[in-house]
Amino acid sequence: MTPTLLQRVNLARLAAGPVALAVALGALAVAQGPGRFTTYAGRSALAATLTITAGLALVLAGLVTSLNRPAGQIGDLAVLAGLIWFAPVWVGWDKGPPLVRSLGMLTAGFAFPLLLHLVLAYPSGRLHGAVTRALVFMVYLEAVLAAVGLALFRKPFFDPNCWANCSDNDFLVRSLPQLARAIEVADRWFTAAAAAALVALCAWRLLRDSGPARRTLLPVALPTFLLAGAIIGHTAALQRTPLEDPAQPAFQTMFVVACVAVMLLAAGLVWVTVRMRVQRRAVARITASLGQAPPPGSLQAALAQAVGDPELRISYWLPNSEHYVDAEGRPVAESTAAPGRAVTTLIRDGRRIAVVSHTAALPDLEHAIGAAVRLALENERLQAEALAQLDQLRASRVRIVETGDAERRRLERDLHDGAQQRLLALSYDLRLARAQAQADDDRQTGSLLSEATGQAQAALRELRELAHGIYPAVLAEAGLGPALATLADMAPLPVEILAEAEGRYPTTVETCAYRLVTEALDDAAGRDASHGTVSVARDGGRLVVTVQDDGSDRTGAMVQLADWVGALEGRLTVEPTRLQAELPCG
């Protein structure tokens, strides 16, 4: 929409107020005077009051709505419907200007299509779904066809059922009483059917939508049910009594119900608009309530509370890795619009910062979120980005440790399957050769071969120790308990295992605990400890490994151990003769 057009639209809206007032006062004058017997409003003071109040209320509600939400057409629809609401009164201006009465007849049929459009486009101003769009289109089309048809071919004078205006139609081209009658009946039934469809669509939306969206829809949907009931009831009454008579209780009742429904609809529109305004103020204020350093996610909570939508979700855009994360930095799927849910992309300085998934009952979030909230969002986005990077860093540390462990295991297997098998084959050959030498009684060769066999045996022993040092097979196969027991068998100092946690733990945790104990005992031996104690205990979700010795005070910081433990997000406590690691183990 160009600015000039926007200005024109706003001027028209401002003008709508006085115009509506004039139209209403004129209608009141008609109803009190010449239209006393040809309008519902003329039947009683109550009927006049209801007519004028309902129409003006609709115009007022439309103005309030459109001034508050410049994007939506809802308000404009309500203003138009409110103006047309007075048309039947002007039609009943007995002996009034024929053009006014003719125009009144031409436009009166559009009040219902406008209201139907309003309700179905509510609250966003847009029509969603093919069925809805088709219904609105068909209702408008039918109203145009009926209005034009009646204007061209209905001469009121020949209509046996005419009551409000039995004389004037300025647009008449040719009088075709039967066609006019058929159009009238068809129009009535079509409108009744459309009213029923409107009820069905509203009911379906009420059932489908959750909390906040339903709360927004209800104030408009309930009066709609009432209005549709009045329309259907009016059609049924006319079917029984073709001549419409405002004096009859059935017609009077339907008229009162329709007036009340329109007033309630107007009140509902105003109420929701006011509530949204309050919510928008709350949204604009949320930064004030957050304080200096809000924890991640508080913005989402505050926004959700401000708009009354507990399912509201903020996802932050990370331009470098091109995906969305939540406030904690965890990757999340891109938000998509769903029935009753809308997605608003928030931009700051031309860059996308966040996407908010929220109830469709608050369509104008983008304008409601001001500069201060955007700054807070940008802050939280940066925080989320840092947290996401931290997560990646953590994952890569764990991967490094895991890769290292896997490499050691592979090395251990290669030693067993490669070098050891060859050494075994070698000692086998040496023994055969020695047996041959002995058989040949070659003592010198025999003793050389004996010595070589001994060397091969020694190499096998060393290889076995080396492989065990690189990665003890028992750790992978039987777990921490048996591996620590073997470690105690071989340790360079007396080792007592005070407690061992039963069961198996993640491989990284077992390996880390084992290496921690190995390193700690080697370190203790280096500080002339006479003995050490090892205890492994499970404490909730953590495996607590403690190694205590009686050597001299430790001077090193055990940096590598701290790295291993840190990679698993554990905590290492280094004291002069005591090491303790707490490893998360699920």
Residues that bind another protein (CB under 8 A): 413, 416-417, 420-421, 424-425, 427-428, 431, 457, 460-461, 464, 467-468, 473-474, 476-478, 482, 485-486, 488-496, 530-531
Q: 582 - beta bridge partners?
A: 544, 571
Q: How far is the CB of 212 from another protein (least distance, A)?
A: 57
Q: Which is nearer to another protein, 366 or 417 (CB)?
A: 417
E strand segments, 248-392:
313-318, 323-325, 331-332, 341-348, 351-359
Q: Are 358 and 378 in contact (CB under 8 A)?
A: no
Q: How many CB atoms lie within 10 A of CB 249?
A: 8
Q: Which is nearer to another protein, 51 or 427 (CB)?
A: 427
Amino acid at 223: P
The torsion angles phi and psi of 41, rounded to 5 degrees, stand at -60, -25
Residue 311's nearest CA partner among 357, 353, 377 is 357
Q: Are 122 and 217 in contact (CB under 8 A)?
A: yes
Q: Which is nearer to another protein, 253 or 486 (CB)?
A: 486
Q: How far is the CB of 460 from another protein (least distance, A)?
A: 5
The torsion angles phi and psi of 462, rounded to 5 degrees, stand at -65, -40
* Cα 422 off chain centre by: 64
Q: Which is nearer to another protein, 19 or 424 (CB)?
A: 424
Q: How far is the CB of 443 from another protein (least distance, A)?
A: 20
Q: How far is the CB of 488 from another protein (least distance, A)?
A: 8
Q: How far is the CB of 292 from another protein (least distance, A)?
A: 56
Contacts of 551 (CB under 8 A, 6+ apart): 524, 525, 526, 527, 528, 529, 530, 577
Q: CA 233, CA 359: separation in Å to the nearest integer?
A: 35
Q: Which is nearer to another protein, 204 or 428 (CB)?
A: 428
Q: Which is nearer to another protein, 95 or 504 (CB)?
A: 504
Q: How far is the CB of 499 from another protein (least distance, A)?
A: 14
From residue 5, give the alpha-carbon distance in Å to each of 46, 76, 115: 41, 15, 24
What is the three-class DSSP state of 559? helix
Q: How far is the CB of 492 from another protein (least distance, A)?
A: 8
Q: Which is nearer to another protein, 36 or 416 (CB)?
A: 416
Q: How far is the CB of 553 from another protein (least distance, A)?
A: 21
User: Strands 542-549 and 341-348: what pairing?
Assistant: unpaired
Q: Which is nearer to another protein, 95 or 410 (CB)?
A: 410
